[in-house]
Structure 1
Amino acid sequence: MFDVKTVPLDADVMLARLRPWIELESPTYDKPAVDAMTAMAAADMEKMGFSVEVIPGPEGLGDCARASFPHPKAGEPGILIIGHLDTVHPIGTLEKLPFRREGDKCWGPGICDMKGGNYAAISAVKALAEMGHETKLPVHVLLTSDEEIGTPGTRALIEAEAARHKYVLVPEPAWGRNTLVTGRYAIARYHLTANGRPSHAGAALSRGQSAVKMMARELLAIEEMTGEDCTFSVSVVHGGQWVNCVPTVCRAECLSMAKRQEDLDRGTERILAFNRQNDDGTGFVVERSVVRPVWEASAGTMDLFERAKRIGLDLGFELSHASEGGGSDGNFTGAMGLPTLDGLGVVGANVHTLDEHIEVSSLVSRGRLIAGLLADLD
């Protein structure tokens, strides 16, 4: 009888093998860096016994990797593990956030979101093979390159790959020690552009109209629309080139999130109403960018959670579930109606900051949880 507690995973060994992943920085917009990270992950998966195909990335973005583990039912619908290899941390973050361990905590850029979870998941596949346990369904892995910017280039790839399978597992970070994610909020991104009027800032200030000032005014108004039904957050602001010139262009990005699709749609109507074009060429432009659809738990997803809950009890902890903000590629597969379980990755805290870290022991606990699901699903 299969005993999930005996799945051969060792936290120290896993962390040592994960370290090169963390020390290979891979911010989304640095294509060579992400390509190198994908190549490293592909090579490690091949060493574990996976067959791996590196897929050229979308224009300007990094490569992706698709992998499958040997199985007698290869080619039939099975289990898809999806994750991303890009991070929000720019090259050089390692100087401020070096890989270091203190007791059960370990720090590093991208270690929690989500390189640690990715590594735990592929290790679970290998560990089952090492103990001679063949999964009932074939297992596939898809690692992508642009999740941190809303998946503008790989959504079609994810949806096409997911449509070939029965279940989707997403090892994004666990938002609580004993929690899993069974739904995610709807998310939309917008490009904001303020167009001003040029002038010399010293000799003829009053003749100009500052795009930066316009953006500051509209930024405050947009963020003040935030309520319990829908949030608005403006960031990545760039404006002007010379301090002695009235800035004529200022650009920013806005992230909006809602628990329900209809709330996000109403939010979209409100922010698009900021669009205006004046006769003199000045004005404010709002352009809709990438969108993640709301994912509400289906019966299939809840069945996945109940299976995970039983496995968790076997491992000595009781799991709960929730719908969460902070979108993931699980939004897409969940919205497709595919049974999807998210938040299966490592336990940690402070993702996207210079204090991003994991609980080292969760490499094993979450790895065994994933292994239990892989062994149970049919």
Structure 2
Amino acid sequence: MKEFLQSKQEEMLYLIEELVNIDSGSYYKEGVDRVGSILKGKFERLGFIVNEKTEMEYGNHLVIQHRDAIDPKIILVAHMDTVFPEGTVEKRPFRIEGTRAYGPGVVDMKASLVELLYALMALQDAGYNAYENVLIVLNSDEEIGSPSSRPLIEEHSTGKDYALIMEPARKDGSVVSARRGGGRYTLIVKGKAAHSGIEPEKGRSAIEALAYKIIQLHELSDHENGISVNVGLIEGGSAVNTVSPNAIAHVDIRISEVEQAAILEEQIKKICSVCDVPGTKVTLEGEMNRPPMEKNKRSEELLQVIQGVGKEIGVKVMDTSTGGGGDASFTSANGVATIDGLGPVGGNAHSENEYLEIPTLTERTLLLAKTIQKLS
């Protein structure tokens, strides 16, 4: 398989270039569906059945398994969307400089999509039937929290033994064994406008009321135990000489353990139920939308298998935790042994300098192929 993949590196890079040069931001359905159409054809030529789940707002999701598959025990999850809007590719298309490839979504995760495809090709070429033991979900909305694909991932991960998630490896090559969960809330405060010079006493400041809430919310953070509450965006008021009749705060929540979610949610609701400035009203919207991916006995055992495969092929596999959310949280919370970050190595995702370390492309594809083989 190693020789096969090394002979295919240039071909893999051509496909990555083709995918990168398609704008596929989460809200650009046409572009995401173009990526899906290309991949659908590639998988079908390998004998896989591709079930396209049609979406109206976001790109279509793909559920893929081989025509000879019978109750596969491994689920692989990857996403086809990026964070970049339509028109980005025209400004900075795919390019290679030295041993790195650049472009929007090159490592998060166009290269991972190609890695996944070629890992299965390598298994087929070598005569192993482990490709029959995988079910693949390619979704279109991961970068915005997987609002339409979460039920799909949860449905298809039920009953699986292992989940391999194709986010890129960290810059040092580590895979991801834990992720923080989280949610988003919006506080909407209504007050009463008044001229701040003529009759300020008749006003009820929504901004003042919101200020109390921001301080109270930030006090819920407990970084030692992996809890973070951050009011990252505020807006409000109509003029500098007017007592503010409205104010809004957008809040990001991060947790490290499942049990923290209900407790934190109750604390937030309690804070927002109290009126700090008489005459104002606070409305709370939002929810915890991603459970944490916790490192547990099942994931530890899966990690050891992957590290053993790495040792066989001369790749040292380290693991790490990350504060960012991802689809691994859904499979992990569903009781499936989960390891994330199985894509190639790269860095600066979501930025203009996003890059892929080209030498890791075939290396990580071999690691994935042999892990699937070992687990099967």
CA distance 1:208–1:14, shift in 2 (3 Å): farther
User: Are 1:171 and 1:343, in contact at CA under 8 Å, matched by a contact in 2?
Assistant: yes
Structure 2 counterpart of 1:287:
285
CA distance 1:243–1:104, shift in 2 (3 Å): farther
Using the TM superposition, name which of 133-142 and 166-175 deviates more. 133-142
Using the TM superposition, name which of 205-214 and 293-302 deviates more. 205-214
What amino acid does structure 2 have at the position aligned with 1:114? M
Offset, 1:185: 2.0
User: Are 1:28 and 1:88, in contact at CA under 8 Å, matched by a contact in 2?
Assistant: yes
What amino acid does structure 1 have at the position aligned with 2:102? W
Q: CA RMSD in A?
A: 3.1
Structure 2 counterpart of 1:303:
301
The answer on 1:118 being equivalent to 2:113 is yes
User: Are 2:112 and 2:344, in contact at CA under 8 Å, matched by a contact in 1?
Assistant: yes
Structure 2 counterpart of 1:133:
128
In 1, Cα distance between equivalents of 2:199 and 2:12? 64
The answer on 1:76 being equivalent to 2:71 is yes
Structure 2 counterpart of 1:258:
255
In 2, Cα distance between equivalents of 1:202 and 1:275? 30
Using the TM superposition, name which of 278-287 and 125-134 deviates more. 278-287
Which ranges in structure 2 are unaligned for 5 or more consecutive residues?
none
SS of 2:5's partner is coil
User: Are 1:136 and 1:377, in contact at CA under 8 Å, matched by a contact in 2?
Assistant: no
Structure 2 counterpart of 1:231:
228
Offset, 1:325: 2.1
CA distance 1:191–1:136, shift in 2 (3 Å): same
Matches within 5 A, 1:100-249: 100-135=95-130, 137-198=132-193, 218-219=213-214, 222-223=217-218, 225-228=220-223, 229=225, 230-235=227-232, 248-249=245-246
User: Are 2:73 and 2:134, in contact at CA under 8 Å, matched by a contact in 1?
Assistant: yes
In 1, Cα distance between equivalents of 2:245 and 2:46? 55
Choose the corresponding residue for 2:313, options 300, 312, 315: 315
User: Are 1:240 and 1:248, in contact at CA under 8 Å, matched by a contact in 2?
Assistant: yes
For residues 192-247 of structure 1, give each alpha carbon's deviation from its aligned partner in whole angstroms, at most 9, with x where no partner exists.
32334356899988866665676567446544643413112334656578999877
In 1, Cα distance between equivalents of 2:105 and 2:208? 35
In 1, Cα distance between equivalents of 2:207 and 2:125? 60
Choose the corresponding residue for 1:13, options 6, 11, 14: 11
Using the TM superposition, name which of 100-109 and 127-136 deviates more. 127-136
Using the TM superposition, name which of 362-371 and 221-230 deviates more. 221-230
What amino acid does structure 1 have at the position aligned with 2:23? E
SS of 2:271's partner is coil
Using the TM superposition, name which of 257-266 and 163-172 deviates more. 257-266
Structure 1 counterpart of 2:328:
330
In 2, Cα distance between equivalents of 1:281 and 1:30? 43
- Give the length in aligned residue pairs: 372
CA distance 1:337–1:359, shift in 2 (3 Å): same
CA distance 1:306–1:294, shift in 2 (3 Å): same
User: Are 1:211 and 1:248, in contact at CA under 8 Å, matched by a contact in 2?
Assistant: yes
TM-score (norm. length: structure 1):
0.85
User: Are 1:84 and 1:144, in contact at CA under 8 Å, matched by a contact in 2?
Assistant: yes
